[in-house]
Amino acid sequence: MLRIETTLLLIAAIAFGGCANKIRVKSSYDEGTNFGTYKTFAVTDPPKTAQGMPAYSEITGRTVNEAITANLQERGMSAASWDEADLQVSFRVGGQQKTEVWDSSVGWYGGSETWSKNYVTGSLVIEMVDRAQNKLVWHGWGSKDMFSQGKGSQQERNKRVTDAVNTVLKKYPPK
């Protein structure tokens, strides 16, 4: 009986753990901005380091940069030089080390098992500045375990980062 309950608790922990891994996204924007007027953009160079994220590298930053570029081009915008772009796009990443713990206490049957998982909750912030007005017009951010370098192949890690960028940019332009 103990084995069945322990197995059921483990399955529940995995199922609920999967739900917690969805990226949480928010955005804010300047309500007076006509986003339809922006036709060109430029993305800043990636940061060399990220606070709280020892596994972050400039390579990850280039993946973010490329994902932003591809996303905006799919929307019909064109890349331009920083000094000529309608929108100047910048991003930053940061992280916080977290530990998740599951306990399978089974009450009066006695015995329990505890599992834990260490991970980094990565935050991605994307900002868009109207170059002509030098004014922030859109700000989007999301957080998730998206930058863990130890998980999967390089291609799988790149896909997680690209998916995170695309999820944040779903909020652009505001509707």
Write down the pTM of the prediction.
0.75
Please tell me the predicted confidence (pLDDT) of residue 5: 37
Q: Which helix (H) or strand (E) holds 161?
A: helix 154-169
Domain boundaries, the chain: 23-99+116-169
Among the ranges 25-39, 112-126, 135-149, which has the highest mean pLDDT value? 25-39
Please tell me the predicted confidence (pLDDT) of residue 10: 30
Please give the share of the chain, as a percent, with pLDDT higher than 70.
Answer: 77
CATH number of 23-99+116-169: 3.30.160.670
Q: In one letter, which amino acid is 60?
A: T
Q: Are 143 and 122 in contact (CB under 8 A)?
A: yes
First to last CA, the chain: 53
Among the ranges 108-112, 149-153, 160-164, which has the highest mean pLDDT value? 160-164
**Would you state the structure tokens that stand for residue 159, as one six-digit string?**
């896909």
pLDDT at 124 over 50: yes
**Would you state the structure tokens that stand for residue 38, as one six-digit string?**
């922006």
Buried residues in 112-143 as b, exposed as e (16+ CB within 10 A):
eeeeeeebbbbbbebbbbbbeeeebbbbbbbb
Task: Give the residue-averaged pLDDT of 91-120.
Answer: 75
pLDDT at 49 over 90: no
Kindly give, in sequence order, each residue whose CB lies less than 8 Å from that of residue 19, ignoring residues fewer than 6 positions away.
none
Please tell me the predicted confidence (pLDDT) of residue 130: 98
Please tell me the predicted confidence (pLDDT) of residue 58: 86
Please tell me the predicted confidence (pLDDT) of residue 132: 97
Confidence of residue 149 (pLDDT cuts 50, 70, 90): low
Q: List the beta bridge partners of residue 103.
A: 114
Please tell me the predicted confidence (pLDDT) of residue 20: 44
